Amino acid sequence: MRIKELLLIIVLLFLSSFVYSDQFSIFLENDVVYGQTDHFYTHGTRLQYNVDGNDSENYGFAIGQNIYTPDDKASTVLIPNDRPYAGWLYGSAFDTVYNQLLTRDQFHNELQVGMVGPDSYAEQVQTEFHKIIGSDLPMGWDNQVYNHFGVLLMSKYTVPAYENSYCAIDPYVGTSVGNLSDCIDTGFNAYIGYNLPANRSEQRVITFKAIRNEGWKPYAYMYFGLEPKFMMYNMMLEDPRFSIHPESFVYDRNLGWVVGCTQFEVAFTLCFRSREFEEQLQQERFGSVKLTFAF
């Protein structure tokens, strides 16, 4: 089976879930939202559908694309000490199990499969978008990471350390394995606001949890999150044509605002990311927007 045929099957499975699903989310991340930098991790899109299976579980499907570029996008030649051009186009299936009693912990698994390289269509998406907004075109996509079929399995365990209707602290531990990347991560999210939902979640492209049906109750909160990762491998950085040295320890700091109710949620997050490779001259920052509609 060809890779493009496999991706088409994943998309069709994703679309077929519309009949049975009760929630649709759109995630958009871009460094033009916050930072005006247009480099490194420069864009992420994720379309996600959730099915509320029962009181203790939900599952779903998603399709997404991440785009990465070097600092110098005017050069047409390979820049060995800068970040490689790369894209990741994927389909995923995920499942989240909730313990509604006692600890109220959550255990999540997600499997992503897709393509890195020219078949991710990152070049076409970024180039056309830059034409639309009248921005300088990236000139070095001929030097992007080669085509690879990618597989990534992610697991995450979250348990509230403290929670009430106005504030909460949720530590977590997780891991990612596959030929795309290998890492161990642990961190926390702290929330403060009004009518905190029991299913409060992080609001980034990389997260998966859904709005749970707890009756119509509006809520609003802000949150701060720290996401440290110990990176053992990252395909997006470890191309043998480049001489950069990936960092083993990477972390994100998130600051976000969320408003919603049972049928709708909107979130905006500012993300500050540490250097991902030693030759990187500055830390990264970008904005994330999430819109969720429940049916």
Band the pLDDT of 167: cuts 50, 70, 90: very high
Domain count for the chain, please give it.
1
In this predicted structure, the answer to whether residue 69 has a pLDDT above a threshold of 70 is: yes
Q: What DSSP designation does 200 have? A: -
Band the pLDDT of 110: cuts 50, 70, 90: very high
**pTM for the complete prediction?**
0.88
Q: 18-27, 60-69, 129-138, 193-202: which has the minimum mean pLDDT?
A: 18-27
Half-sphere exposure (Cβ direction) of 174: Cα atoms closer than 13 Å: 25
> In this structure, what CATH number is given to the domain that contains residue 283?
2.40.128.140
User: What pLDDT, on the 0 to 100 scale, is given for residue 22?
Assistant: 78
Residues 76-93: tens digit of each pLDDT: 999 999 999 999 999 999
Q: What DSSP designation does 241 have? A: T
- For tokens 């949150």, what's the residue? 223
Rounded Cα distance between 137 and 247, Å, is 29
Going along the chain, which residue ranges are E strands?
23-30, 40-54, 57-69, 86-98, 106-116, 148-158, 162-163, 167-178, 181-194, 219-234, 249-260, 264-273, 284-294
In the chain, what percentage of residues exceed pLDDT 90? 65
Tokens standing for residue 221: 């909160």
Q: Which residues contact 209 (CB under 8 A, 6 or more apart)?
A: 96, 106, 108, 199, 201, 202
3-state SS assignment for residue 154: strand
Find residue 249's DSSP bridge partners. Answer: 230
Find residue 58's DSSP bridge partners. Answer: 96
* Residue 23 main-chain phi, psi, to 5 deg: -155, 135
Which domain, by its residues, includes 154? 3-294
Residues 251-270: tens digit of each pLDDT: 999 999 999 987 889 999 99
Largest CA distance in the chain: 58
In this predicted structure, the answer to whether residue 281 has a pLDDT above a threshold of 80 is: yes
Residues 233-246: tens digit of each pLDDT: 999 999 999 999 99
3-state SS assignment for residue 48: strand
Mean pLDDT of the chain: 86
User: What pLDDT, on the 0 to 100 scale, is given for residue 142?
Assistant: 96
